Amino acid sequence: MIMQKILRIDSNDNLIVALKDLHAGESFSWDDDNITLVTDVKAKHKFATQDIPLDGIVSMYGTPVGKATRPIVKGEAITVDNIRHYAAPVTLEDVEPYHWQAPDVSEWSTRTFKGYVRDDGRVGTASYWLVFPLVFCENRNVSKLTNALNDALGYTNNSLKKFALNLTSGSDELIETARMFPHIEGVRCITVTSGCGGATSDCETMCDVLAAYADHPNVIGMTVFSLGCEKAQQKMFKDALARRNPEFDKPALYFLQQEWNSEERMMQTALQQTFEAMKAVKPTERVEVPLSCLKVGMKCGGSDGFSGISGNPAMGLVSDWLTTLGGASGLAEFPELCGAEGDMVKRCINLEDKKKFLNLMQGYEKTANFFDTTIADNPSFGNIADGLITDAIKSTGAAKKGGRAPIVSVCDYAEPMPDSGLSLVCTPGNDVDAVTGLVAAGCNVVIFSTGLGTPTGNPIVPVLKISTNSTIARRLSDMIDFDCGPVIDGTPLEDVSRELFEKVIETASKDYVVKADKLEQFDFMLWKQIGRASCRE
């Protein structure tokens, strides 16, 4: 139960969360226990409910999240100066089946969203022509072609151009181009930082991810640029595409610059052929499809001390409802599961997935160790300042995004996730890298919770930004799509989660356009996986 100023999340916790700024000398009662604060405690931070000795366990969310580095007295604030990261050891010896009571989803059993049904039966939430390179040398050409087509075909957001015209000429008069292909929602591009001059494994990963994007049901065709001498040859990409989907049959145009004696002529040809290919695309309209066709990615970034109380649990309920309805949910960010491994292992249905998850986590830790660090160093300056003192505190709150459903699959980076159930999707914690990985896994909507704010979006999949507190929702109203802050003020979590689920359905139907798309935040970043080869063995 959320109270006005404090919250004890689990009855076994020896930490309480401050929902407001608290001051030394204030007294509180909880479960017949009286606590008087001996220090100030800022909102989103925690204080001890009992004396904790040196090396004593600090618990939150019903699980260990740290150890005391010195004695902590009852009513004292928890800081980086008195606790360190700690997580309970994980074992595979406990193979008891995971028992979960699926929620009642009868209120959504006949609900639908408007999606694009592709020839192979998969469902898209958008319809884009995609332009991308196989090497960074071609980024400029990719951007030039995309911008030219979007301008000519009426997809460009001209608000900033109008502002510039007003500054320079005193008039914002600009002739808008009508959209020539209403059934295509735009031309989107990807730029890369690899493809040559690096590890071959990076090129292979890049081709795997680009193949996943090309094959995504939100993409209806592609134009691909390469230079000719790069490591990521067209054959490498085409092989990756064939592995991803042996039946791939979308229109695909390839341009290799070293075969042309004029860049201008190549670009004109690329533009003309892309235009003709887009014109030839069979018009497809959105139709009503069941919610089981949704594959939602769960991500958090710029997290704060309220993330694990409001935004992430709301996403967790949406995830549970969706998977119960037959849809799919992907929980990403393996560094944000450091400290929550025990719960993840317990919830994996298959023993092989338990082993795979721990193997991937160990591989991630091995890579971090290679750089003289650990994934437990994950909390950023902003995280710590807003109450996420250890990685275990951050991770146990971050894991709430995955609800309580059983885990049906564990997927490596760019590996496709199943069409139903909850999957763990191996990505880093970095915002853009993680969203890139979720889309590569097949998600057609991404929900992104933030307590501090982030501009992250994606080129081909809508990223729905939700805030964990109302202050950031108001301050960054041009970025935030949905406010979970009312949970902190006492609104029942289920009520807020129902509203969030409705917003997800509107987003999938494009009845609601996410603010990341309005701001043209079309972000893409590949995860360089140096040192991770051993975790695939």
The distance from CA 374 to its chain's CA centroid, rounded to whole angstroms, is: 22
| CB of 457 closer than 8 Å to CB of 491 | no
| Residue 192 scores a pLDDT above 90 | yes
Q: What is the pLDDT of residue 174?
A: 67
Q: Which two tokens stand for residue 232?
A: 């990521």
* pTM of the entire predicted model: 0.92
Greatest mean pLDDT among 332-336, 372-376, 377-381, 504-508 lies in: 504-508
The token duo for 525 is 């970043």
What does the mean pLDDT of the chain come to? Answer: 92
Identify the pLDDT of residue 501: 98
Q: Mean pLDDT over residues 329-356, rounded?
A: 92
Q: How far apart are CA 192 and CA 414, in angstroms?
A: 16
End-to-end CA distance of the chain: 46
- C-alpha–C-alpha distance, residues 21 and 5, integer Å: 8
Residue 111: its pLDDT value, please? Answer: 97
**Residue of higher predicted confidence among 368 and 105:** 105
Cβ-contact 114, 511 below 8 angstroms: yes
pLDDT of 487 higher than 70: yes
d(CA 304, CA 315): 15
Residues 288/112, Cβ–Cβ less than 8 Å: yes
**What is 71-118 written as a DSSP string?**
-B-TTPBP-TTTEE-------S---PPP---PPP-GGGTT-EEEEEEP
The single-letter code of the amino acid at 179 is R
> In DSSP terms, which residues pair with 425 in a beta bridge?
411
Using DSSP, how many helices (H) and how many strands (E) does the chain show? 14, 22
Helix (H) or strand (E) holding 139: helix 139-153
Q: What is the pLDDT of residue 380?
A: 79
Cα dist from 486 to 268, 396, 426, 491, whole Å: 53, 21, 31, 5
Identify the three-state secondary structure at position 29.
strand
Least confident of 180-189, 401-410, 495-504, 522-531: 522-531
166 token code pair: 């007003």
Which 3-state string (H, E, C) describes 285-331?
A: CCEEEEHHHCEEEEEECCCCCCCCCCHHHHHHHHHHHHHHCCCEEEE
Q: How many CB atoms lie within 10 A of CB 12?
A: 11
Q: Which residue has the higher pLDDT, 489 or 168?
A: 489
Flag whether pLDDT at 253 surpasses 80. yes
